Amino acid sequence: MTLYADLEFVRTVQQVLEFVGTFAFAISGIRHAAGQKFDWFGGFVCGVAVAIGGGTIRDVMLGVTPFWMTSPAYLICTALAQVFVVAFKKYLRPLDNAWFVFDTLGLALFTIAGIQKTLALGHPFWVAVIMGCITGAAGGVIRDILLNKQPVIFQKEIYASASIGGGLLYWGMIEFGVNVGITALATFLFICLIRFLAVRYHISLPVLTSEDNG
């Protein structure tokens, strides 16, 4: 199967990834907002920001209409995420790391969606890897700024690096002629595995220090 042999299949996979990624990222943003005691509207705004922020930046850079402006489904998806968090808060509250799981799922799903959309528009793979990273990680940056936190990608925690690693894996598998569906699944699992292992075993990138600080 060549890269563009089944564009309809790729579009379908991309749309599913964007819907599921929107839901996962929205839950992550709303959970963070709940931790800061935001009201329902503030939680929704934070959920929207993290769910559509990265994809919006990607689409603007690619010169296309931002994906969430083509259908109200993405905003509805975010609203459903808020209903989910409110309805099941008593079950989610004990799960201190629930936000991390949803954030990781969103990162992986949106990375793949960003790569596929960039390739479908005819850009080279190195651009697709960068756009995949922006799609997956930029929403989290916007969320952290709204919550007055240091963006997670600027900390030593492995986050954007997992997205880039997944993008490179996607690139390699496609170059070897692997089916797009299998490639997307493998990339999703790879990004999640990197994030989970990095947190479980406290794996991080070296911290940048100045000579003045020794």
Q: For residues 119 and 139, give the distance between their C-alpha atoms in angstroms, rounded to a whole number.
A: 21
Tell me which residue of 132, 167, 181, 192 sits closest to 13, measured CA to CA.
181
Is the per-residue pLDDT at 213 higher than 60?
no
The share of the chain scoring above pLDDT 70, in percent, equals 90
What pLDDT score does 48 carry? Answer: 94
Instruction: Tally the domains of the chain.
Output: 1
Q: Report yes or no on 210 lying in a domain.
A: no
Q: Which two tokens stand for residue 133?
A: 């990273």
Q: Indicate the SS3 state at residue 157.
A: strand
Q: Report yes or no on 166 lying in a domain.
A: yes
Lowest mean pLDDT among 1-5, 127-131, 142-146, 208-212: 1-5
Q: Report yes or no on 194 lying in a domain.
A: yes
Q: Report yes or no on 164 lying in a domain.
A: yes
Q: Report yes or no on 214 lying in a domain.
A: no
The share of the chain scoring above pLDDT 90, in percent, equals 56
pLDDT digits (tens, 9 = 90+) for 103-158: 888 999 999 999 999 999 999 999 999 999 999 999 989 988 998 988 878 876 78
Rounded alpha-carbon distances, angstroms, from residue 75 to 26, 64, 96, 143, 201: 10, 19, 26, 16, 36
Average pLDDT score, the chain: 87
Lowest mean pLDDT among 11-15, 23-27, 40-44, 204-208: 11-15
Q: Report yes or no on 28 lying in a domain.
A: yes
Q: Report yes or no on 34 lying in a domain.
A: yes
Q: What is the residue range of 125's domain? A: 7-202
pLDDT digits (tens, 9 = 90+) for 70-112: 999 999 999 999 999 889 877 766 665 667 888 888 999 999 9
Is the per-residue pLDDT at 1 higher than 50?
no
Residues 74/67, Cβ–Cβ less than 8 Å = yes
Q: Report yes or no on 67 lying in a domain.
A: yes
Which residue pairs from 178-181 have beta carbons closer than 8 angstroms and sit at least 24 positions apart in sequence? Answer: 179/1, 180/1, 180/3, 180/6, 180/9, 180/10, 180/13, 180/116, 181/9, 181/13
Listed in sequence order, the residues at least 6 apart from 200 whose beta carbon sits closer than 8 Å to its beta carbon are none
Q: What is the pTM of this model?
A: 0.87
